[in-house]
Structure 1
Amino acid sequence: MHINTTKTYKKKRFWAGILLAQFLLFYTFSKLQIVVSFFEKIFEFQKRIHQIFFAWIPFSFGDLLYILLGILLIYLIIKLFKKKTRSSALFNILIILNIVYFTYQVFWGMLYFQTPIIAKLPKTEITLEVRKALALEYLEKSKATRKLVKEDKNGVFVIKDLNSIQQEILNQQKTLPNFISQKESTTTNSFKPSLFGKTMSFTGILGYYNPFTAEAQFNAELPSSYLPFTLSHESSHQLGFAREQEANFIGYLIGVHSKNPELRYSTEYFTLKSLLNSIVEEDEMFVKTALGNYSEEMKRDRLNERKFIAEHQGYLNDFFGFTNNLFLKSNQQEGAITYSYFIDLLVRYKSMNIK
């Protein structure tokens, strides 16, 4: 009995040591650009393989994996509270943590340390006046494009064909400027409605990328004004842009030049809201005036969004907002509620006078 206990202790210490070694190893890798570039190549390879295996499945296989993993961890945690099984449960948890952490870092985690997009854009001053001018520009664009989309019986923007939007996003990936992205686009549609859609509505999470299956999950219950840009954002993760605000910018580039009015409106409207959010603390009256100048159609869409948010407020929203904020900052990103990096990218890009 004593011998078995000693062996188990040594095994636990070994796997705990391996986990610590992984933390140190990947931290070191993150500082070496040549190594990060190697992981970018691994990402392109595994993405193609994963999409071959999982894209054809009609539901989110990645969500199923998360559910199974969650059940397994809950089972092992329960065993931790029983003296007879505590040691073996801890041993198994350490093995799972090692496997998941290693796989995550190889498939995705290292991409947070790619050369940032901002380094590829010219420096310019991000003044309040520049942001105001852009906000007025995207207000007029949103008003014009809004007239081209369909409405439901309540006069709210509604999407009739989500698949055509998904296909348009994949097509638009091929048009990204070479100086910003030389990543490989795909023709494989791997957008999946999340199995956690109803729960997601209470978390403030609109969508997420699964690095273990290369699927782009979205909350199918979102208002239509959110949905196309959310898909565009998640497709940017599928391209290999890990940072959230960079995925927003790539999503912007995908959507803003689209000939699909639904995708273009959702993108323009997101851009307008981001600009107004960046202005409100400095000039609240400007934002109030801009909101008052929304078209009647846009006002209905805004009211629908606010209604959706109000119906799904709660502790889950606060909790996931807090934990997501910590996750973003741990990966050298701004917090979830900060718009400045996306706005910096937008202003720098627009300063190049690119239509």
Structure 2
Amino acid sequence: MNTTKTYKKKRFWAGILLAQFLLFFAFSKLKFAVAFFENLFEFQKKIHQLLFAWIPFSFGDLLYIFLGILLIYLIIKLFKKKTRSNALFKILIVLNISYFIYQIFWGMLYFQTPIIAKLPKTKVTLEVRKALALEYLEKSKVTRKLVQEDKNGVFVITDLNTIQKEILDQQKKLPIFISKKKSSESNSFKPSLFGKTMSFTGILGYYNPFTAEAQYNSELPSSYLPFTLSHESSHQLGFAREQEANFIGYLIGINSKNPELRYSTEYFTLKSLLNSIVNEDENFVKNTLENYSEEMKRDRMNEKKFIAKHQGLLNDFFGFTNNLFLKSNQQEGAITYSYFIDLLVRYKSLPTS
């Protein structure tokens, strides 16, 4: 009798999960439904930040640890005949609840009107990208001289909290035609509890949709960190697509009066442009790298050392799985910068930009 009841419960929760897949897929095709979830996000992010921003550590990471332990415990139970059926039933419940919360708080935002629809059409030619690369090379050279260095002559951040405050302030200055989203009032940037592990995954930071916290890897080279914070703050605003978060991060950082944030943004933009050019004109990229200032060359070498030190199977695995995740949410994948570059070129073609 108990076996029959458990079987029916499992079928019920499996059916609910399937129904959720179909329901949210249908919602993703309806503009009014997506607009509803956009408005819901504006409401819930305020609540989440009131609840979690004041906590000095990442509450979201603790939540992930708890869920991870719970799932591992239940998976172990699957291998025991006496507890297998009940464990599967509980796993289905956890999956249903997690999937539902994820979709209403975050998942549906991937289907917002893309930023590219708000920008003028223009050809993203090789020559345009080369011109922009040279522009940001010169900008990076100038701004690099305004930041501090460590004893090895490598860029070092002097006050991370000031950068975080500057990012929140710059959110309020985004062009209205691109974003009408309300800026965050609370500083909810948190160093990830998985920082050491993150260094081996290639993940620089991530947004937690369950707590609205922006996690970052505190071990990152300083040249990465300010733009990473800017990127994650774009997710906090409600931009789900990775390359759109890069573009909003660019808008946040490029006109900042904080030289550390501006340099990190200019340097990221330069690297993105060079990555988009290298397969078409490798000599141009080599020549550009040779024309880095001595300070920038030291920063580049520091980044290469960091990457080399943390290469491994975890990096390959997370790169692969993250790429699959991005593509499943109608994004290009982690290995390409073309959408960000497309947005950048279109934005730069505006008369007032």
Distance in 1, matches of 2:187 and 2:293, equals 34
User: Residues 96-175 of structure 1: matches in 2 within 5 Å?
Assistant: 96-175=94-173
Secondary structure of the residue aligned to 1:241 is coil
The aligned amino acid for 1:52 is L
Distance in 2, matches of 1:208 and 1:260, equals 23
1:128-147 per-residue CA deviation (whole Å, 9 max, x = no partner) reads 00000000000000000000
1:32-61 per-residue CA deviation (whole Å, 9 max, x = no partner) reads 011000000110111000000000000000
Task: Give the corresponding residue for 1:4.
Answer: 2
Task: Give the corresponding residue for 1:92.
Answer: 90
Q: CA deviation at 1:353?
A: 3.3
User: Residues 179-194 of structure 1: matches in 2 within 5 Å?
Assistant: 179-194=177-192
Residue in structure 1 matching 2:63, options 58, 62, 65: 65
Residue in structure 2 matching 1:281, options 279, 292, 304: 279
Residue in structure 2 matching 1:248, options 246, 249, 264: 246
Does residue 290 in structure 1 map to residue 288 in structure 2?
Answer: yes
1:114-171 per-residue CA deviation (whole Å, 9 max, x = no partner) reads 0000000000000000000000000000000000000000000000100000000000
Distance in 1, matches of 2:222 and 2:274, equals 20
1:278-328 per-residue CA deviation (whole Å, 9 max, x = no partner) reads 000000000000000000000000000000000000000000000000000
Residue in structure 1 matching 2:237, options 236, 239, 259: 239
Q: CA deviation at 1:187?
A: 1.8
Distance in 1, matches of 2:320 and 2:124, equals 28
TM-align CA RMSD: 0.4
User: Residues 19-34 of structure 1: matches in 2 within 5 Å?
Assistant: 19-34=17-32
Identity %: 86
Task: Give the corresponding residue for 2:326.
Answer: 328
1:253-272 per-residue CA deviation (whole Å, 9 max, x = no partner) reads 00000000000000000000
Distance in 2, matches of 1:307 and 1:142, equals 21
Distance in 1, matches of 2:75 and 2:124, equals 50
Distance in 1, matches of 2:188 and 2:10, equals 39
Task: Give the corresponding residue for 2:308.
Answer: 310
Secondary structure of the residue aligned to 1:192 is strand
1:215-261 per-residue CA deviation (whole Å, 9 max, x = no partner) reads 00000000000000000000000000000000000000000000000
Task: Give the corresponding residue for 1:15.
Answer: 13
1:79-130 per-residue CA deviation (whole Å, 9 max, x = no partner) reads 0000000000000000000000000000000000000000000000000000
The aligned amino acid for 1:329 is K
The aligned amino acid for 1:73 is L
The aligned amino acid for 2:332 is E
Distance in 2, matches of 1:16 and 1:338, equals 36
Task: Give the corresponding residue for 1:207.
Answer: 205
Q: CA deviation at 1:30?
A: 0.2
The aligned amino acid for 1:117 is I
- Name the count of aligned residue pairs: 353
Distance in 2, matches of 1:335 and 1:75, equals 32
TM-score norm. by structure 2 comes to: 1.00
Gaps of 5+ in 2: none
Task: Give the corresponding residue for 1:257.
Answer: 255
Q: CA deviation at 1:354?
A: 3.4
Secondary structure of the residue aligned to 1:177 is coil
Task: Give the corresponding residue for 2:40.
Answer: 42
Distance in 2, matches of 1:181 and 1:241, equals 9
Distance in 1, matches of 2:255 and 2:158, equals 20
Secondary structure of the residue aligned to 1:151 is coil
Distance in 2, matches of 1:354 and 1:342, equals 20
Secondary structure of the residue aligned to 1:199 is helix
Distance in 2, matches of 1:136 and 1:33, equals 40
Gaps of 5+ in 1: none
The aligned amino acid for 1:126 is V
- Find runs of 4+ consecutive structure 1 residues off by over 6 angstroms: none
